[in-house]
Amino acid sequence: MRISRSFIPTLKEIPADATIPSHRLMLRAGLMRQLTGGVYAYLPMMVRALHKAERIIREEMNAIGGQEFLLPALNPESLWVQTGRRNIPNFILSVKERDLVLAPTHEEVIGWLGAMHIQSYKDLPQIWYQIQTKFRNEPRPRSGVLRGRQFTMKDSYTLDRTWEDLDTGYDLHAEAYRKIFSRCGLKFFVVGASSGAMGGTGSQEFMVESEHGEDTVAKCPACDYAANLEIATSGLSAVGRATDHGAPEKIDTPNVKTIDELAAFLNVPHERLAKSRIYLHDSKPVLILTVGNDQVNETKLGAALGGGEYRAASPEDLRATTGADAGSIGPIGFKGRIIADLRLKNANGLISGANVNDLHLRNIDLTRDVPKLEYADVRSVENGEPCPSCGQALRVTNAIELGHIFKLGTKYSEALNIRYLDESGQSQLVIMGSYGIGLERILACAIEQGHDENGIVWPAALAPFDVHVVAVNMNNSDIVLHAHQTYRQLQQAGLTVLLDDRSSVSPGFKFKDADLLGMPVQVIVGEKGLKNGQLELKVRKRGERSMVPVDGVVAGVQDLLKSL
C-alpha cells in the first residue's frame, strides 16, 4: 500500500483524553478515532491488524473442530428475559423503537439454535464460534479500547452430553487459547477465576500483566499457582487459639477507631483484633469478621452470601443496625447473620468492638461467644503472602483480561430447554461451555507490551504490514526507481509492504512516521546507500541498522523477519 494514497492520519501531539500508552498510540498512529464514549471507528491500519489476529484465531478454532457462525447482534428482548439476564445492571443496551436488545454475549442465541436443532446424542458434541461485534452498557468506558461499549469478540460455545465431554471441550479451548496468544507474540499467563453467577464448575482467565489492567491477580514466582484475586488464597495461617482468660470483658478505648490505633493503644498484635464490617444483603444486615487489616473481597463475599444483592452499609446504616459507629462494631450481641473469615476459624482471645462507641471487648471466643457463626473465605490476598501450594511469596499485580473460558454446565440448557435424547431414549440436558477473546484487547496488549518513546513496535504476527519502505526523497529519480522496485520485489516475495512515497514530506517526517506506525522491518531507500548500490534495513524493535546490496533486499528482509 502506498502512503501517498492511504488514509493513515498520524498525530504529532498526544491526544489529551488518552492516558495509557496503547490508547495514545492507537490514536497517534492513526489506528482509530473515538466516535463517542467507548465507541471507536477503526481505520485501515487497525483493520489490517485485527484481520491478522482474526486469522490466527480462526486457524486455531478450526483446528479444534470449531465451526464458524455469524449470529445476530439484534436479539429479541424476550430471549434474555427467559434466561433472567435482561435486567442485570449495566449489562444490556437496548433499542428504543422495538423490543430488541443488542447482544452483549451469545449464550442465549446459541441456546435458541441448540434447543431447536440438537435432538439426539448423535448431534453432540458441537463447538460453535463466531467473531462478531458485542455491545455492553458499560457505565464507565475507559482506557481506549480496553473497556468499550462496542467491541469485537471471538466467542465460542461447546455443547456436550457429559461433564467429562465438557472438560474435553474446555481443555481444547485452553490449549487453543495458549496457541493463539503465543502466536500473537504476547506474554500472557493463565489464572483460576471466579465463575460468579455464570455457574458451573470452573473458569480460567488468560491475562497479560499490566499496570493498566483492571483485574488484580496473585502470581507465584516459583510454582504455577496464579489466580484472580476474586478467588485467590494464600498459605497465611489461621490465627488459632490463645490462652483462655475467661469471659469477654469491656475495655475503654476512647477515640480509638482504626485497627492500627487499637493495636498500638492496647499493645496487642493485629492477629488478635477482629475487624467487623456490616453489609446489607437483600436489605438485611450481615456482619463480616476479618483479622486485623485484612480486606474483604466483595466477589468472595458475594459467593459466601449465596446470591442476592449486597452493598457495604453506610454510616447511617451502621448506627441503625448496631447502635455504634465504624470502629466500635463487633459480633457480640449483633442480631443477624455473621460470617467470619477462615483465618478466624475457631479463634479465641480476640478483641472486637462492643457495639457501643469507644468500647471494645476482649477474650472473645468465637466457638463459645458467637452462636451460629458461619465461616467463609472472604479476605483478599495481599502482596508477599505465602503461595498456597509452595509457600513462596506471592506477587499481586494488575492484569488485562484477554480471554475467559467457562464451564457453564446446565444453566442455559435449563432456562432454554436445550435437550437431547440419549441412547436409551431419555431426555437429557445439554452441558455447555462458553469461551471468549477480546480482539481489540489483543491489539492493545500487543502495543502495551511493544512500544517505545517513538511509537508502536508491532509483533510480526499482528503488524499491519511486514515491511515499511521509506523513499527518502521523491524528487530524486534514482530513489523513486529503487523504492518502487523494492516495493514490487517484496510484494512478489509474498510480503505485505507499506511504501512511503509521499513527495514534499521531509525525510525526518517519514522516519518519525515509520517508527510511530511500528512495522517490524524498515527499508530505507536514500542517496546515502544508493551511492554504493545499497539499501538500509532497520529493525524497529532494537533500532539495529544494516546495509544490503540492492538486489539482496528481499533476502535481507526475510532473514530479519525470521529472526524476530
Give 462's contacts (C-beta < 8 A, 6+ positions apart). 49, 52, 53, 184, 185, 442, 443, 446
CB of 69 to RNA, least distance (A): 19
Q: Are 408 and 433 in contact (CB under 8 A)?
A: yes
- Residue carrying C-alpha cell 502495551: 448
Backbone angles phi, psi at 98, to 5 degrees: -140, 170
- Cβ proximity to RNA: between 364 and 548 the closer is 548
CB of 473 to RNA, least distance (A): 3
x-or-dash pattern for RNA, window 514-533, by CB under 7 A?
Answer: xxx-------x-xxxx----
Task: Using alpha carbons only, give the angle 67, 69, 70 rounded to the nearest 5 degrees.
Answer: 165
User: Is position 143 an interface residue for RNA (rule: CB under 7 A)?
Assistant: yes
Residue spans of beta strands (DSSP E) within 106-149: 126-135
User: Is position 386 an interface residue for RNA (rule: CB under 7 A)?
Assistant: no
User: Is position 484 an interface residue for RNA (rule: CB under 7 A)?
Assistant: no
User: Is position 104 an interface residue for RNA (rule: CB under 7 A)?
Assistant: yes
x-or-dash pattern for RNA, window 180-219, by CB under 7 A?
Answer: ----------------xxx---------------x-----
Which residues is 455 bridged to in the sheet? 452
- Residue carrying C-alpha cell 487499637: 262
CB of 383 to RNA, least distance (A): 16
Q: Looking at 89, 246, 371, 494, which residue binds RNA (CB under 7 A)? A: 89
Q: Looking at 6, 82, 168, 299, which residue binds RNA (CB under 7 A)? A: 299
CB of 508 to RNA, least distance (A): 2
- Cβ proximity to RNA: between 27 and 340 the closer is 27
User: Is position 19 an interface residue for RNA (rule: CB under 7 A)?
Assistant: yes
x-or-dash pattern for RNA, window 439-478, by CB under 7 A?
Answer: ---------------xx----------------xxxxx--
Which residues is 189 bridged to in the sheet? 207
* 71: Cα within 13 Å, side-chain hemisphere: 28
Q: Are 83 and 90 in contact (CB under 8 A)?
A: no
Query: Would you tell me how many other CB atoms lie within 10 Å of the CB of residue 282?
Result: 10
User: Is position 142 an interface residue for RNA (rule: CB under 7 A)?
Assistant: yes
CB of 420 to RNA, least distance (A): 24
Rounded to whole angstroms, the Cα distance separating 482 from 499 reads 12
Q: Looking at 341, 513, 548, 556, which residue binds RNA (CB under 7 A)? A: 513
- Coil, strand, or helix at residue 549? strand
Give 412's contacts (C-beta < 8 A, 6+ positions apart). 83, 107, 108, 110, 111, 418, 432
Which residues is 423 bridged to in the sheet? none
- Residue carrying C-alpha cell 439476564: 85
Q: Are 115 and 418 in contact (CB under 8 A)?
A: yes
- Cβ proximity to RNA: between 237 and 504 the closer is 504
Q: Looking at 69, 91, 121, 189, which residue binds RNA (CB under 7 A)? A: 91
x-or-dash pattern for RNA, window 40-79, by CB under 7 A?
Answer: ----------------------------------------
Rounded to whole angstroms, the Cα distance separating 326 from 278 reads 9
Spacing of C-alpha 273 from chain mean position: 35
Rounded to whole angstroms, the Cα distance separating 198 from 84 reads 12
- Cβ proximity to RNA: between 25 and 172 the closer is 25
Q: Which span sits near RNA by CB under 7 A: 10-18, 173-181, 252-260, 332-340?
A: 10-18
Residue numbers at the binding site for RNA (CB under 7 A):
10-17, 19, 28, 34, 36-38, 84-85, 88-91, 104-105, 139-143, 147, 196-198, 214, 298-299, 302, 311, 454-455, 472-476, 503-504, 506-509, 511-516, 524, 526-529, 536, 538, 545
